[in-house]
């Protein structure tokens, strides 16, 4: 439904959409038209219109007792990205996991009056809010259900598209079962701590990625919830984050940062504005001891200098570890590693070497991501890093020139 009541909000909506088109966030005329049509501020009354139309800003709609956001209207950039990945068509039967109202309205514009849109959420407060806003803004045809997504989407039949707007660690069998063969699932999937919005097409009982984009979402609640584990060092100043697995002897890292630091530099550089998401995925794929390191901003003594203090790519090797760092030279930055522990130099050089491999063999490529049923034997999986979850065996597989690398396997802790 077009908003014609307020020239200011219409201008804000047009400017937001134009900016996303210019930045390449919106690439199709149909997604552009949907964003020009749906009045986002009406689905985000918690924010000012100016904030509602900021391209990079999500609007929190509910927080828990600790003040942590548990539901939000995602940033326009993220919604545009996922809708482009989903490639919705007129007349399709589509569904959304995680309700906010605005995204469902965009989906309704894309599938048209002949299509069907269903949105679900585990939280009744969220679905009541979504139902109210959808009805008030002319999208009463969108179906809204309060249900845990782990068991699927009720009353829909075979789905052409399923978009998940909550961070998922696994892919429940019900989601694949409800997709038509060739149907598409777009899901923010966490793999070894890294989240990517993956557009999967169904191919029988497996899913095959068509694209994967960096993203961030509030985490899934209910039966599909999965918490990462933290290994705290130097009190609580530094934490190693593990999504799957856990060090065999976590106590071996006690005092690791009291040792002398070793440095290694790769010679690999990027422009300061250049993304390097492929490097992140490569290191998560190839390093057996891969984890993420975070530094508490309130407790930071400046001892470590990670490339990203919230989630730095790191390598654990027995009682030693290394993390990725950078040094700047003008408008470019060189990747390197800082190592600590008895094998500080060795572990730092191991991390540096894989950065060089990425630069040499994979800088211009992205992996294909597969999701197979968890019961699939190893011999039936493609080459790549295998991450075994409760429902799925996810395989991160790089282009043919690197398939000489022997497949390795992670196993979820029981």
Whether 271 contacts 332, CB under 8 Å: yes
Half-sphere CA count of 251, side-chain side, radius 13 A: 0
- Residue pair 372/393 in contact by the 8 Å Cβ criterion: yes
Spatial contact of 286 and 385, defined as CB atoms under 8 Å apart = yes
Please tell me the distance from the alpha carbon of residue 220 to that of residue 195, in angstroms, as a whole number: 13
Q: Which residues of 359-392 are buried (b: 16+ CB within 10 A; e: fewer)?
A: beebeeebbbbbbbebebeeeebeebbbbbbebb
Q: What is the sign of the dihedral through the CA atoms of 277, 281, 287 and 288?
A: positive
Burial of 158 (C-beta count, 10 Å sphere; 0-12/13-18/19+): exposed
How many residues are given for the chain?
A: 414
Closest CA to 82 of 194, 172, 215: 215
Task: Look up 319 and say whether it is catalytic.
Answer: no
Q: What is the DSSP string of 196-261?
A: EEEEEEEETTEEEEEEEEE---PBP-GGG----EEEEETTTTEEEEESS---S-GGGGTTGGGSPP
- Give the chain's radius of gyration (CA, Å): 22
β-pair partners for 368: 397
Sequence-distant (6+) residues with CB within 8 A of 18 are: none
Whole-angstrom CA distances from 326 to 70, 185, 262, 335, 352 are 33, 36, 14, 5, 11
Nearest 5°: CA angle at 335, between 330 and 336?
125
Query: Which is catalytic among the residues 74, 197, 314, 320?
Result: 74
Handedness of CA 121, 123, 126, 131 (dihedral sign): positive
Which residues are marked as active site? 74
């Amino acid at each position: 439904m077009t908003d014609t009541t307020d020239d200011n909000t219409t201008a804000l909506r047009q400017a937001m959409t134009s900016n996303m088109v210019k930045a390449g966030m919106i690439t199709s005329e149909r997604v552009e038209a949907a964003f020009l049509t749906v009045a986002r501020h009406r689905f985000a009354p918690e924010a000012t219109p100016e904030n509602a139309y900021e391209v990079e800003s999500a609007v929190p709609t509910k927080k828990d007792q600790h003040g942590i956001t548990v539901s939000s209207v995602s940033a326009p950039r993220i919604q545009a990205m996922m809708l482009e990945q989903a490639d919705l068509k007129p007349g399709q039967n589509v569904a959304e996991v995680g309700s906010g109202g605005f995204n469902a309205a965009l989906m309704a514009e894309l599938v048209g009056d002949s299509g069907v849109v269903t949105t679900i959420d585990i939280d009744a407060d969220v679905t009541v809010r979504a139902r109210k806003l959808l009805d008030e803004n002319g999208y009463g045809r969108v179906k809204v259900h309060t249900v845990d997504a782990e068991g699927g989407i009720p009353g829909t039949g075979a789905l052409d598209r399923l978009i998940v707007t909550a961070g998922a660690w696994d892919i429940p069998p019900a989601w694949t079962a409800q997709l038509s063969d060739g149907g598409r699932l777009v899901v923010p999937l966490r793999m070894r701590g890294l989240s990517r919005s993956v557009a999967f097409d169904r191919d029988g009982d497996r899913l095959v990625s068509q694209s994967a984009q960096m993203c961030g979402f509030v985490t899934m609640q209910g039966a599909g919830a999965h918490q990462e584990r933290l290994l705290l060092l130097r009190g609580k100043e530094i934490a190693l984050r593990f999504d799957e697995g856990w060090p065999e002897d976590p106590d071996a890292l006690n005092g690791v940062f009291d040792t002398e630091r070793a440095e290694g530099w790769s010679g690999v550089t990027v422009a300061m504005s250049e993304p390097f998401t492929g490097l992140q995925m490569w290191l998560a794929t190839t390093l057996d001891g891969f984890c993420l390191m975070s530094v508490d901003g309130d407790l930071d003594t400046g001892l470590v200098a990670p490339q990203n203090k919230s989630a730095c790519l790191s390598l654990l090797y027995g009682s030693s570890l290394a993390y990725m760092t950078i040094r700047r030279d003008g408008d470019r930055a060189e990747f390197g590693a800082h190592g600590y522990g008895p094998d500080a130099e060795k572990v730092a050089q191991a991390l540096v070497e894989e950065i060089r491999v990425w630069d040499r063999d994979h800088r211009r490529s992205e992996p294909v991501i597969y999701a197979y049923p968890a019961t699939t034997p190893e011999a039936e999986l493609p080459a790549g890093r295998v991450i075994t979850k409760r429902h799925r065996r996810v395989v991160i597989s790089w282009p043919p020139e690197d398939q000489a690398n022997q497949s390795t396997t992670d196993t979820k802790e029981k």
